[in-house]
Chains A and B, each alone.
Chain A
Amino acid sequence: DAGVIQSPRHEVTEMGQEVTLRCKPISGHNSLFWYRQTMMRGLELLIYFNNNVPIDDSGMPEDRFSAKMPNASFSTLKIQPSEPRDSAVYFCASSSRENTHEQYFGPGTRLTVT
């Protein structure tokens, strides 16, 4: 079975541009998570969805960040406008109803904002 799929794997953009990160969870998983990893702050949860509904978005840094999950097999994390401090690795993870709290991570998207 395919794991969590993220695209793009690398993104380099200029400050002020819009960035969209994409995630396809493991088929059959009903919870989806977006994390950000930086040297300074480590791994931190941005937002998570359960059955396509946002449950906890307390980690979303500010209004420039938004996330959607239009269906069970796709989610986006959008940053508009992007800033250099958004440079990080963004991970998507998913978990199943049968094994809640057991999250499987995608390969991550390395974002560089210049």
Chain B
Amino acid sequence: AQKVTQAQTEISVVEKEDVTLDCVYETRDTTYYLFWYKQPPSGELVFLIRRNSFDEQNEISGRYSWNFQKSTSSFNFTITASQVVDSAVYFCALSEAQGGSEKLVFGKGTKLTVNP
């Protein structure tokens, strides 16, 4: 069965600090997708990134970077030089591709607070 664990429930940092959000996943499939979504205080879910299981290259987008390591079943998210606007709940999610299912399984989320 697929499972996503975000062990950090809440993180609080001061502006300009770097912060890493951890995500560990479990799946029996060899083909799968991993995601990060952001949920700001306004409540909507914002898609940040999708990664497939065959692509272990790390990705950087501005202040955001993602580290995918199949050996440890982890897909961690780092925000560099955090800003107050980064305050949100961040969700990691997994979708198994075999069988054609598009079901997303979410972690419980990590609430990030960036203080000025």
Give residues in A with beta carbon < 8 Å to B: 31, 33, 35, 42-45, 48, 50, 55-56, 89, 91, 93, 95, 100-108, 110
Q: Is the interface of A mostly helix, strand, loop or mixed?
A: strand
Instruction: Identify which of B45, B91, B108 gathers the most chain A CB atoms within 10 Å of its CB.
Output: B45
A-B interface contact total, Cβ < 8 Å:
52
A43, B91: Cβ atoms under 8 Å? yes
A43 to B108, CA, bound (A): 8
Give how many B residues have a beta carbon under 8 Å from the other chain's beta carbons.
21
Minimal Cβ-Cβ distance residue in A for B52: A101
A89 to B43, CA, bound (A): 9
Given A43-B91, A108-B44; A101-B106 close (CB under 8 Å): no
A108, B33: Cβ atoms under 8 Å? no
A66 to B33, CA, bound (A): 28
A55 to B100, CA, bound (A): 10
B37 / chain A contacts, CB cutoff of 8 Å: 105
Given A42-B108, A101-B97; A31-B102 close (CB under 8 Å): yes
A56, B103: Cβ atoms under 8 Å? yes
Minimal Cβ-Cβ distance residue in A for B107: A42
Minimal Cβ-Cβ distance residue in A for B6: A42
B102, A48: Cβ atoms under 8 Å? yes
Q: How far is the CB of A103 from chain B (nearest CB, A)?
A: 6
